[in-house]
Structure 1
Amino acid sequence: MEEDLKFLQSMGILHESFKTILKWKKIFTQITLTLFLPISIILIAIMEISKRFFDQLERDPFELFTGAQEAYRSYYNARATSIDWIYYLLFKIISITFIILFCHLFTAAVSYTVASIYTNSDVSYRKAMKVVVKVWKRLILTLLSMFLVLFAYNLIAAVFFFFWYVICFNSVTSVLVLFAIFIPYVLGFLYLSIIWQLACVVSVLENSHGLKSLIKSMDLMKGKRRVALTISFLSYTIFVGTVSMYMSLVLYGAGGLVFPWKQVIGILCVVLLLITFLLFTVTQSILYLVCKSHHREAIDKLSLSTYLGAFFGESQPVFKIGEDIQLGRTPSQV
């Protein structure tokens, strides 16, 4: 399997991820229900709270596409006090941070499980949960480092969009210039999201965290960027589509659906979110193994198994304290 990993493309990685999930569906179901089901419920609760308590600041986004000029103007002319904006921003920051943190814990549990399966190690739901407890500090450091990178990226993008608004907003070529800025921005965001996900896997499976894990994931991505971007694009398309379907049909009642059908569609959206994010997270772990194989970093199962066992005191790590584990090295080479 290891030799074949480096030849896997997008569809191959997705196929391998499906096989892994189906073969070990019990433990993946337990992890998903424990760590990601609460995220889905919180996400829906956030949308409901925003609709009920911050309707002046966050109006129905689908009104913009109905052609009703009065509704369109009301979207931009909604009056709100400064204190409303403060409460709204605090609510958004806290809720989004909470969701991202839980997503990282979910990634840690899934990454450990996939690595244990690959090394034929003893894997269980209880062990996966223990790993989450042991690595959460490292994941937070990686999260904070990525926040700084995203802040810098969006700040630079904001400057470009500002100049577009000032210089080109009313010109004939404004739309073309907007697309020329927006498309690279989206591709860059997808690329950073993949680096972020891979960095989380690196933080769990290697002795790296923070900026070091981000740099490591960037190095691993070389030669596999197109594959990673394809997987990221497919995953985010399904995610955005699912959230948009819930917002339009359930939250804002587009289509005039009656109460029972709203509940059915809402449940289907939650299930689809669970399946999509589980598949996306497993693909990141498989992508990590593919990237390691692509760079001829032989993934020594003994070293990886020993590293995973060190989480529970079952074995001693084969790497020196403070060194980044290279899974291609055997204990005698360290």
Structure 2
Amino acid sequence: MDRNEEDMKNIGFFGIFKQSFKTIFKYTKLFTQITLTFILPLSIIFLAHTTISNRFFSRIENSYLDNYDYNRRNVTVSDWLYFWLFKVIYFTFLTVFSLLATAAVVFTIASVYADRDVVFRHVFKVVPRIWKRLVVTFVVIYLAMFLYNVIYGVIVFLTRAVFGYSTLGAVIFLILFVVYVYGFLYLSVVWQLASVVSVLENNQGIKAMRKGKELLYGKKKSGMGIAFVLYGILVGILLVYELYVQFGDHLVGLAMIWRVIIGISCCLVLMMVFLLFMVTQTVLYLVCKSYHREAIDKLSLSTFLGAYTEETVVYPKPEEIQLGRAQPQQVAQEV
């Protein structure tokens, strides 16, 4: 993070990736510790969900297909109970480790940008204080994503009911899918910016989402381009994992040793993708702040971050500090 304010606002798609990689490689030891502590469990949970679902809940998850009428008739209430219990446990652990990992990475990148000395024990100490600020924002975006998917599902259902499997129906479905992907990417980038806002500014939930939307203006192509590439890699990892690990024994005839090696490789690549997701979202936030001329004073940022580590602060009302905004007049007079 060696660029000045004026240079940051001109960074685009490739520049954000370049700056993210430079930061990761410069602090390799620190990011390795963060990855092994917070992102490794996240990756294991993510892949384990796929394995368990395919092994134990395939009848339920495929019961909506016409070819699975027999399985649908044999799904019991007990099966559904275990299925939803598993989903609740999965999403709980996934959310917790996502919050912890996001808090750790955002705090680290912000500390680097503010020229603060940061070591892993500092990060580990502040994460329990930071992640609580993210909970409200995560709940809001989960609800938004759920509503978005419900609306898309209803539209697809109505399209299929009206047009069936005709050529026109297929064309309409393709158009709807493209629009869905566009909206999903947009919401994802707003979510990422809102997560950083929740950590570095006094906004949470809907306010953080609104702030993230405002920041994205002017940098939407870069942000959505980054999300598209990383989600594409993520989908590729899942496809490789399912093809060569989940069903590698009878689809491609792989021996167990090769399936284990490929599974470990997928987990390692997934860790790097998750880390890059979180680093790029923080770099994108800094770029958007610069683009909108919301200058981040490094001393103020350092003081703000110091509050997480329980350092002595000189501001009379640290909870009112808004990065990139002028301080209230009454606070300036008190100082």
Common fold by TM > 0.5: yes
1:163 aligns with one of 158, 171, 195: 158
1:55 CA displacement: 3.3
- Secondary structure of 2:58's counterpart equals coil
Moved more, 36-45 or 271-280: 36-45
**Structure 2: unaligned runs, 5 residues or longer:** none
- Supply the RMSD in Å over aligned alpha carbons: 2.2
Q: After superposition, where does 1:133-152 map in structure 2 within 5 Å?
A: 133-152=128-147
In the other structure, the counterpart of 2:295 is: 298
1:54 aligns with one of 54, 57, 80: 57
In the other structure, the counterpart of 2:254 is: 257
TM-score normalised by length of structure 1: 0.90
1:274 aligns with one of 259, 264, 271: 271
In the other structure, the counterpart of 1:216 is: 211
**Structure 1: unaligned runs, 5 residues or longer:** 60-71
CA contact 1:10–1:230 (8 Å) conserved in 2: yes
1:104 CA displacement: 1.9
- Secondary structure of 2:91's counterpart equals helix
Q: After superposition, where does 1:196-207 map in structure 2 within 5 Å?
A: 196-207=191-202
In the other structure, the counterpart of 1:228 is: 223
CA displacement 1:162-198 (0-9 Å, x = unmatched): 2212212243300111012111111111111111111
Q: After superposition, where does 1:1-334 map in structure 2 within 5 Å?
A: 1=3, 2-58=5-61, 74-75=67-68, 77-78=70-71, 79-253=74-248, 254-316=251-313, 318=315, 320=317, 323=320, 325-329=322-326, 332=332
Distance 2:264 2:29 in 1: 21
Distance 1:177 1:272 in 2: 35
1:45 CA displacement: 2.4
Moved more, 296-305 or 98-107: 98-107
Distance 2:314 2:195 in 1: 20
- Secondary structure of 1:256's counterpart equals coil
1:317 CA displacement: 6.8
1:251 CA displacement: 1.0
Distance 1:81 1:144 in 2: 31
CA displacement 1:110-165 (0-9 Å, x = unmatched): 00000100111121111112221002222111111112212222232223112212
Moved more, 226-235 or 148-157: 148-157
- Secondary structure of 2:60's counterpart equals coil
Distance 2:66 2:206 in 1: 44
Distance 2:230 2:96 in 1: 19
Distance 2:225 2:155 in 1: 26
Distance 1:73 1:188 in 2: 29
CA contact 1:303–1:327 (8 Å) conserved in 2: no
Distance 2:6 2:165 in 1: 56
Structure-2 change in CA distance of 1:120 and 1:321 (3 Å): closer
Distance 2:231 2:127 in 1: 25
Moved more, 17-26 or 140-149: 140-149
Distance 1:302 1:324 in 2: 12
- The number of aligned residues is 323
- Secondary structure of 1:173's counterpart equals helix
